[in-house]
Structure formats: structure tokens, C-alpha cells
Structure 1
Amino acid sequence: MKTAQLIQTDRLILRQPQSSDLEPWAAMMAEPDTMEFLGGTQPRSSAWRAMATMAGSWALQGFGMFSVIERSSGRWLGRIGPWMPAEWPGTEVGWALSRDARGRGYAEEAAIASIDWAFDALGWDEVIHCIDPRNQGSIALALRLGSRRQRESRLPAPLEQMVVDIYGQSRADWRQRAGR
């Protein structure tokens, strides 16, 4: 298991979820436009379980999605990072930002830092993104990151009704594209 790292970018802090994240996490999960492609809006109690699941992933696997914090204000913006529950289609870096954090480049900035961390600290050979085929914003982000559509897939239970497109790239492609 890897020790969690605090990652700082020019504008963001990526850190493990904390109990103080619950209220903004729950607010994000109640936003219909944010949750449209992520299983629909969720009540506060479900948001708590989702946040606890992410904290559990950190405890069991040594990674999970980061809470994304705006450095200038300390405001919680969303969750982005490595994710691979049992029977998942691959080693994913996923994202979800609250409505008021979108359109500022935060998702791309945090995703780049998360992908670097997944390849460098976790030793992953590939990163994927599971995206609803109707989610044009996430598809555009995946393409900006250099990922390409690889295949269609279904997620494991209890999400087996969700058909997603798998976008992804290898560590070698990431390094070559970024000049790393």
C-alpha cells in the first residue's frame, strides 16, 4: 500500500477526502447536471457512503480519488483521481467537479497531476476513463489528455446497467505526448 501524497499544482491541492468534505461533496452529488452521467442525483446519506467508499479505497489500496481544493480559497471543488474497485474495467483516473468549478481548467489540471501520480507513484501501465457516451464534456477532457476511445464496456454491479465508453492511454504514450 502506498502512502498518500499531497499534490499541489499551480492552483489546486489534491488530498485524501476528509470528513469536512461531506457538505460540499453532498452538494455536488445533489446537482442534476453534475450527476446526469454519474447515476443521477444522490441524497446526503448516499454522498456520505460514496465519500466513505473513497476513504476506504485509500485505506485498502493506497489510492483513491483526491478531494480537489482550490489553493487560493481553500474551497472544495470536486473529486478527481485514481480509482479501481473490484471488477472495474481497468486502472481509471476519473473526475467530477461541482457546477461552479467547471469551465476554469481545474479538471484538466487535476487530471494531469493525478495521471502523473498514477504512473509515477502507483506504477500503473495504463490509465482509462469510463465515460457515458453522451457526456461530451468528459469526452473532450479525455481527448485533451491524449486518451482515445478503446472500446465499449459495462460497469460491474451494482452499476451493470451503465454502458460506458473506455478512453485510455499507456504510460509510454503519456510520457511521449507530455515530453516526460
Structure 2
Amino acid sequence: MTLDIRIETERLILRVPRIEDFERYAELLGDEEAARYIGGHLPRAAAWRRFLQMPGAWVVQGFAMFSVEEKGTGRWLGQTGPWKPDGWPGNEVGWSFHPDAWGRGYATEAATAAMDWAFDTLGWDAVIHCIDPANVPSQKLAQRLGSRNLGPGKLPPPYEDAATEIWGQSRDQWQARRGRSAA
């Protein structure tokens, strides 16, 4: 099954994950610091099983995180997009990026496009971001997106013991911030 969804921004392409994304994905999950707030460091074999979650969610749910590719080079930078596993506290737009992509504004650019897509295409009324209270870079990204801290949250097993704050905003808040009229 081929899903041909593609979003272009000034510098990026957001698309459904492909097999060639795995090498850099495995590097991301193999990096202790980069994987710290996304379930922890994983060896390559476990990273492969986790990698398959997103293509599987695309097929089963019709949405999942996009692979984020740099337009000029085709280099896989990370992933962002809609995500809602069973038992999740809401409709999330999440993100994780390879360490060599940090600090360049890629996450903000990609997450903005992903949030537009989630509201416009999926019709979501609100978006959340589940963020560890110690993950200051993700908190700052959520703030740049216009989200605010809504308080502590609880994730389903096996993450039920992970400290989590729920950040988020409504469709109306997002559209007002983006200068759009409410649908």
C-alpha cells in the first residue's frame, strides 16, 4: 500500500516514512541524549520495531508522524505529526529530530505544517503535546507554536510512570494565531 501524502515548506518535505529513513532513525534512537524524552535509547533491532509503528499507523489510522526531509539534500531530519496511540490523553502532534538537525528551526517549520495538516485534513478540534517537565527544548517549541502548559498528564502503559505535562491549544487558537478565520 502506498500513501502519497506530501507537504512542502520553504526548506522541508513532510511525507510518509520510507525504508530509507531507517538508518538515521536508528541513529536518533541510538543516541542517549536524543532519545532521552522519547522512550529512551534503543539498540538497532528495537529501533526497527519502533520505526514500523509510524508506517503501520498510517495504514491503520490514516495518519501518523511524517518523516521530515531537507529539501536541498534529501537528508532525513526527524519526524513530526499527528499521533494518537490507544489510551493517549488526546490528539497529539509530536516531534523528534536527529541531533544534527537541532537548533536550525526545522522542528518549528515542520510542526507548523503538521499542525495545519492535522486541523485542516483530520478536522481535529484541539492538539496536545505530551512533554516531560525536564524537556525544556520541547517546551520552548510548544510555546513557539502557541501552545500552553495545560498541567500534568498521564500516559498509558508502558509509559504510565513517565512524568508528563500536557501542552496544547484549540483549533480556534491555532487559526487565530495563523491569521485564518475559523471554519
Indicate the TM-score class for this superposition, using the shorter chain for normalisation.
Answer: over 0.9
Matching of residues 59-78 of structure 1 within 5 Å? 59-78=59-78
Q: What 5-or-longer segments of structure 1 have no aligned partner?
A: none
Determine helix, strand or coil for the equivalent of 1:154: coil
TM-score under structure 1 length normalisation: 0.96
1:5 has 2:5 as partner:
yes
**Cross-structure match for 2:116:** 116
**Cross-structure match for 1:106:** 106
**Cross-structure match for 2:79:** 79
Matching of residues 17-96 of structure 1 within 5 Å? 17-96=17-96
1:26-61 per-residue CA deviation (whole Å, 9 max, x = no partner) reads 001011111111222111111111111111110111
**Cross-structure match for 1:127:** 127
Shift of residue 4 of structure 1? 5.2
1:145 has 2:168 as partner:
no
1:136 has 2:136 as partner:
yes
1:106-128 per-residue CA deviation (whole Å, 9 max, x = no partner) reads 00000000000000000000010
> Matched residues in 1 for 2:97 and 2:30: separation?
12
What is the letter of the counterpart of residue 162 of structure 1?
A: A
Query: Which stretch has the larger CA shift, 115-124 or 51-60?
Result: 51-60
Question: Could you say what the CA RMSD is over the residues aligned between the two structures, in angstroms?
Answer: 0.9
Q: What 5-or-longer segments of structure 2 have no aligned partner?
A: none
Aligned length: 178
**Cross-structure match for 1:174:** 174
> Matched residues in 2 for 1:122 and 1:28: separation?
28
1:142·1:167 contact (CA, 8 Å) conserved in 2?
yes
> Matched residues in 2 for 1:142 and 1:160: separation?
22
What is the letter of the counterpart of residue 47 of structure 1?
A: A
TM-score under structure 2 length normalisation: 0.95
What is the letter of the counterpart of residue 18 of structure 1?
A: R
